Structure 1
């Protein structure tokens, strides 16, 4: 219990350090980004772009990413939040300019962070680095935005992201990458890593 109490205090200290800070451009970028990730619409947009690209690897990344969210979201929102029932942070003394409407659901774990990490992990397993890296940066920004806007403690975000990474990796078990047919060389067939020319 003493360790749990100390972690709770540390979590609150980190929350106030972030949520009360003034980061250049933060108020203009992070709240809209956080809202864009509501109901995983941001990730659905990425997936749609990948699916329409015509590249097999990106189509697989889109499918795997949405599969990962489909696992992470109910696990966090329907199971985790019901079990832990943690209260949201208090909005008192936080900069009103960047506060989002406080969600009514429990705070722990963060559903936005779970979906972001799930999608980014799944995309990293399929897409080339030039595609996966920006997705990972956006996912990290969404996670950070949940603390910066005052709707989640850092511990909520870390727990949600952990669930997201785990479910992203789990998709490999549920949907393994197809093996190339006999006689196909490296980079041939949809199951191999064909090159993608940069735009």
Structure 2
């Protein structure tokens, strides 16, 4: 990808950020600000995952997968992605983001969005085991991602990258979980066969 394409993509990203900042949405501002703050440190995601682990069967397995996926996505975004890219945060003052919708500006790099990565990791991991939860958790993940742009702390591209990263981390987590379950099943069957006549 040449420099001209990158420049154009960055210009489009900045224009989308500015368009959100300049759109007057007083009825949404407080709710999206609270959602963005509630997603700090994966509080929403881990609370949902923990609640699921208290239930039996597939729900417990989904909760464990969700918690593991959130942990992997958060670490990948914050310890790897942000350190490699080091994209500066948006200039919220220059974009004139409404004060009433703002949350504290993080000191970490902007790309990718860790909040979005964690939210999509949970939605993907849990939704694969509990299809009924896929749509609500997917909508929650999208809302968390948008809230990060709405409050002025991320560019749209940061959120898109976070969504892709979170989905990938959940897919990897589920693959590893399936291998562990399959290996446990084989070991259990072998143990039973060794007790036979």
TMscore range, shorter length:
0.7 to 0.9
Root-mean-square deviation (CA), in Å? 1.8
- Quote the offset at 1:69 in angstroms: 1.2
Structure 1 counterpart SS, 2:23: coil
Match of 1:6 in 2: 8
- Quote the offset at 1:139 in angstroms: 1.0
User: 2-side partners of 1:113 and 1:19: how far apart?
Assistant: 19
Q: What are the within-5 Å matches in structure 2 for residues 59-98 of structure 1?
A: 59-92=60-93, 93-98=96-101
Deviations 1:98-125, CA, capped at 9 Å, x for gaps: 1111000000111111101111110111
Match of 1:107 in 2: 110
Structure having the higher helix fraction is 2
- Quote the offset at 1:24 in angstroms: 5.7
The higher radius of gyration belongs to 2
Deviations 1:37-57, CA, capped at 9 Å, x for gaps: 1110111111122122x2312
- 2:28 is equivalent to residue 18 of structure 1: no
Listed as ranges, the gaps of 5+ residues in structure 1 are 182-199
User: Which residue of the other structure, out of 48, 51, 62, is the alignment partner of 2:50?
Assistant: 48
- Quote the offset at 1:133 in angstroms: 1.6
Equivalent pair of 2:116/2:163 in contact (CA under 8 Å):
yes
Runs (4+) of structure 1 exceeding 2 A deviation are 22-25
- Quote the offset at 1:19 in angstroms: 2.4
Q: What are the within-5 Å matches in structure 2 for residues 113-132 of structure 1?
A: 113-129=116-132, 131-132=133-134
Listed as ranges, the gaps of 5+ residues in structure 2 are 186-197
Match of 1:133 in 2: 135
User: Which residue of the other structure, out of 163, 166, 173, is the alignment partner of 2:165?
Assistant: 163
What TM-score does the superposition give when structure 2 sets the normalisation length?
Answer: 0.86
User: 1-side partners of 2:130 and 2:26: how far apart?
Assistant: 31
Structure 1 counterpart SS, 2:68: helix
